[in-house]
């Protein structure tokens, strides 16, 4: 396996959509209504949505590839704050990025793809004005929470997240981003 990370292109969209459909349910609690998950995938992870993200200068989309096959992706939204969350720490609006999506194909779990993707993101944001990264993930998603904690994220609060009309309880995590100026 030779996984590499790169910025997503519009030509990736037809492969990103089925990858998102395979990976998003993995982050949902097992008791969540399957129809709600499918509604979320249809409405929030469509070709149109991915195309808009890739075209938007405030959104940073990367993909992990194994040869020509997409095996992971991430979507970061600059300037997005946890507005509907109960948090212990305020984040600065002018230098915060939301790690909105961060998924790896289950066939590649445990192969270091997540670590490579996170390293790529951290290196990218070290050269920008962004100083904080935050995310929300389902409180039952123990594997993901453990990964985020290992790469420097700390719990700062909770939120509720609407998945196709079903409400999920999330933890909110954040981490300070390195800066080239810090070196």
Domain map of the chain by residue range? Answer: 3-182
**Mean pLDDT of the residues in the chain:** 93
Per-residue pLDDT for 18 more than 80?
Answer: yes
pTM of the model: 0.93
CATH 3.40.630.30 fits 3-182, yes or no: yes
C-alpha–C-alpha distance, residues 148 and 135, integer Å: 9
Per-residue pLDDT tens digits for 49-83:
999 999 999 999 999 999 999 999 999 999 988 88
Tell me the sheet residues that pair with 15. none
Contact 151, 95 (CB under 8 A): no
**For residue 144, what is the enclosing H or E element?**
helix 142-150
**For residue 52, what is the enclosing H or E element?**
helix 47-55
What's residue 181's pLDDT? 64
Per-residue pLDDT tens digits for 94-111:
899 999 999 999 999 999
């Amino acid at each position: 396996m030779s996984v590499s990370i790169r910025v997503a292109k519009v030509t990736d969209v037809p492969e990103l959509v089925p990858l998102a459909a395979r990976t998003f349910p993995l982050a949902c609690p097992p008791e969540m209504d399957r129809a709600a998950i499918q509604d979320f995938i249809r409405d929030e992870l469509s070709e149109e949505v991915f195309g808009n993200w890739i075209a938007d200068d405030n959104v940073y989309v990367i993909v992990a590839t194994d040869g020509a096959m997409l095996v992971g992706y991430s979507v970061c939204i600059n300037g997005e704050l946890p507005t509907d969350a109960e948090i212990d720490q305020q984040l600065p609006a002018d230098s915060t990025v939301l790690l909105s999506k961060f998924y790896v194909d289950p066939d590649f779990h445990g192969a270091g793809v997540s670590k490579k993707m996170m390293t790529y993101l951290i290196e990218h944001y070290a050269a920008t004005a962004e100083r904080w990264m935050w995310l929300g993930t389902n409180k039952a998603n123990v594997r993901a929470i453990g990964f985020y904690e290992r790469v420097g994220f700390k719990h700062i609060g909770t939120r509720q997240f609407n998945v196709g009309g079903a409400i999920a309880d999330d933890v909110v995590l954040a981490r300070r981003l390195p800066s080239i100026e810090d070196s």
